[in-house]
Amino acid sequence: EVQLVESGGGLVQPGGSLRLSCAASGFTFSNYWMYWVRQTPGKGLVWVSRINSDGTDTHLADSVKGRFTMSRDNAKNTLYLQMDSLRAEDTALYYCARSRAVGTYDALDIWGQGTMVTVSS
Amino acid sequence: EIVLTQSPGTLSLSPGERATLSCRASQSVTSSYLAWYQQKPGQAPRLLIYAAASRAAGIPDRFSGSGSGTDFTLTISRLEPEDFAMYYCHQYGSPPRTFGQGTKVEIK
């Protein structure tokens, strides 16, 4: 079964750090670009970051640039999002998702169940 | 950044009826790279349509997408009970990729 499972969310104080993980199974992880998307009741779905197949190229939304780092370990079939200098506005449900097409950007066809990040003192 | 505006905000319909959801972009969407997702409470989004009109794997043919440029439509030909949910459009042709605010399809 094709699956993505996120972990690592939780409650953190403003200025703190968290590292999200996304474990992939059921497909050749190293062939696909991967994404992080977050969701809040107020702003809806918002793209956060993406990484290419071999991890050599990443793009981040302006709102998280300089604070978040996206990476992957293809040997472990795992995607990461290192989140530093967290702010209250980063509070959201974070999803990892897969690009539909192999080796390029596309619509997002596989999503994890999400991991909740709450930034609050 | 391309802003996607979905209408209506809420669509109240009965099972068996036809649903027509609209997504308007603030600029032309490159190569019709427009997708539609369904989301139910407590679940992740589910890809329905990509490239404006192509159904994703396993999606019933009562779901169809159309449009180009700045105007796109998702049509559900005959609503089934499991189709009552939130629907989001998403453009992925011009970075940053963006999502619409959603249309809720509710039971009348």
Question: pLDDT tens string for chain B (108 positions)?
Answer: 999 999 999 999 999 999 999 999 999 998 889 999 999 999 999 999 999 999 999 999 999 999 999 999 999 999 999 999 999 999 999 999 999 999 999 999
Q: How far is A5 from chain B (nearest CA, A)?
A: 12
Q: How far apart are CA A94 and CA B2, in angstroms?
A: 22
Contact yes or no for A49/A59 (Cβ under 8 A): yes
**pLDDT above 70 as % of chain A:** 100
d(CA B28, CA B71): 8
Q: Do B90 and A113 touch (CB under 8 A)?
A: no
In the predicted structure, residue A40 carries a pLDDT above the cut 90: yes
pLDDT of residue B37: 98
| Structure token digits, residue B17 | 């009826």
Report CA-CA distances (Å) from A120 to A17, B74, B105. 12, 38, 33
pLDDT of A103: 86
Helix (H) or strand (E) holding B98: strand B98-99
Show Cβ contacts of residue B76 under 8 Å, excluding neighbours closer than 6 positions.
B18, B19, B21, B62, B63, B83, B105
What does the block give as tokens for B73? 């439509």
Q: What is the mean pLDDT of residues A97-111?
A: 94
CA distance A91 to B1: 22
What confidence tens digit (pLDDT) does each residue in B68-99 have? Answer: 999 999 999 999 999 999 999 999 999 999 99
Q: Which residue of A has its CA nearest to B48?
A: A109
Length of chain A: 121
Average pLDDT of the residues in A42-51 = 95
Asked if A106's CB is within 8 angstroms of B47's CB, the reply is no
User: And the tokens for A21?
Assistant: 């993980």
To test the contact with chain B by mutation, choose from A33, A39, A45 the residue with the greatest count of B C-beta atoms within 10 A, namely: A45
Under DSSP, is residue B101 helix (H, G, I), strand (E, B) or coil? coil
